[in-house]
Amino acid sequence: MIGVLLPYVRKFQRSAESNDIVDRFSYQYTSTLLGFSAIMMAASQYVGRPIQCWVPAQFTRTWEKYAETYCFIKGTYFLPGAFASEEEVSVTSPDDTVTATPHVGYYQWIPIILFIQALCFYLPSIIWRTFNENGELKIKELAAVSEASRKIKSNMSDDQVKGRKFGRYFFKKLIFRNEATVFKNSGVAASGKFLPLLFLFTKLMYLANIVLQFWILTYCLETKSWMWGWQTFQDLVAGREWETTGIFPRVTMCDFSIMDLTTVHDHSIQCVIVINMLAEKVYVFFWFWLLFVGVLTGLSFAYWTVMYMLQSIGRNFIYSYLQSAPSFQKEQENISVVPAQFVDNFLHADGVFISRLVQQNSGDLFTSIMLEEMFNLYRQREAEKAHKKEDDSALPVDSAPTQLKEEDDDDIPLPPPTKATVETLSSDDEDDDDVDSPDTTATLPR
């Protein structure tokens, strides 16, 4: 079974390249923990005996099984203080009140609630990947290329070749995004701010999901307080167990009636809810984990908001990786506006954002080589544009703008070609094979 699930688990892990570590805490780690907890709780319910009841002696085995099934489905109720010893009652003060309601009916739905909570954590990730993969700058594709380049064992010269080729690849993507007609009329996508805004919106969804999770815990567990996790922890430290607090009680009561011909017999039996022993540990841990992930998500949202709102921060980030480039140093010495135009007019917020993700996935050296190659290509392109404006007549062939050079480094991993590209390449090969060759057999003597 593990071998069957392993490919899907690996695919699930690779999707983390298109975002940051804080998002992975929500949609990957937390949803995985909740999913395993749901499976564990469901197994204890439907494979084992989640509830066991003390029935009268006259009950047969069939009657006992019916009573336990009825009480598990209908729900039981808890009598505050009924099962507490004198020592446990003396621990509580007269002002203490039971935070749980007498009726206990949530344990039947715990596996389903956990599955819903796991889905809520994973939903923002689906929205993020769906929208960013529909644009020209596919973050997952770019991050996968940079990540694959980093994982391949190579020397320093190979790393430089890989970084330059990825820089040319990223450069062509940005040119198409900036100049293609289909993107110029696409609203937010054409402004170069689509990806950061989508990323911040996804972060906001993660924050809203944290609030929703606290509400689910409070409403479904009937705790009446959003701080029940901390209160339960304090109760455990103070020695107050479920007998006095009523939170996840182990022993409850169940009332049911049985009709015998014309007579109705009422019964009250005492039941042990074994699943609550496990549910208490799961939900107390999850409450603190939820608080931890919520704080991380809030700090991450504030960090990326500042990074996006302050343009100077993004510009300084790009400049920090271009300081060692001779072309960049030359432009700085001449007090040129080319570096600022490279960041503001060419990369835009989208390019700066992707550069940050590439840096997180591939490291500083790869990012520096990539940005240096992109900056050199941008300077060359701007120089050619300026030369065209100065020359009113047609340019001679020798001075025509040079195309981006393709170096012979086919072993560098690039995203897999699309189906249309494969068909085009295949058709070109077929056309080359169909070229008529001279019929040499006709000239041979018989």
CB-based contact 279:113 (threshold 8 Å): no
Listed as own residue / partner, the contacts of 156-160 with beta carbons closer than 8 Å and 24 or more positions apart are 159/365, 159/366, 159/369, 160/369
Segment 324-370, tens digit of pLDDT: 889 999 888 888 888 999 998 888 888 888 888 888 777 788 889 98
Q: Which of the residue ranges 261-275, 325-339, 407-421 would you say has the lowest mean pLDDT?
A: 407-421
User: What is the predicted pLDDT for the residue at 98?
Assistant: 43
Residues 15-48: tens digit of each pLDDT:
445 678 888 899 989 999 999 988 988 887 777 7
Average pLDDT of 228-241? 75
Instruction: Fill in the amino acid letter for 247.
Output: I
Give per-residue pLDDT as tens, 51-97. 888 888 888 888 888 888 888 888 788 776 555 554 444 444 444 44
pLDDT value of residue 153: 53
Lowest mean pLDDT among 235-249, 278-292, 419-433: 419-433
Edge to edge, the sheet with strand 51-54 lists 51-54, 263-273, 251-260, 76-77, 103-104
| Whole-number pLDDT of residue 427 | 45
pLDDT(6) > 50: no
User: Do residues 94 and 117 lie in contact, with contact meaning Cβ atoms separated by under 8 Å?
Assistant: no
0.85 surpassed by pTM? no
pLDDT at residue 255 tops 70:
yes
The whole-number pLDDT of residue 245 equals 56
> What's the mean pLDDT when you consider all of the chain?
74
What's the pLDDT at 378? 92
Q: Which of 160, 159, 154, 192 shows the shortest CA–CA distance to 173?
A: 192
Percent of the chain with pLDDT over 90: 14
Q: What is the pLDDT of residue 152?
A: 57
CA pair distance 72, 252, nearest whole angstrom:
11
The percentage of the chain sitting over the pLDDT mark of 70, rounded to a whole number, equals 66
φ, ψ (nearest 5 deg) of residue 180:
-65, 135
Query: Which of 147-161, 250-264, 310-324, 350-364 is most confident?
Result: 310-324
CA distance 227 to 232: 9
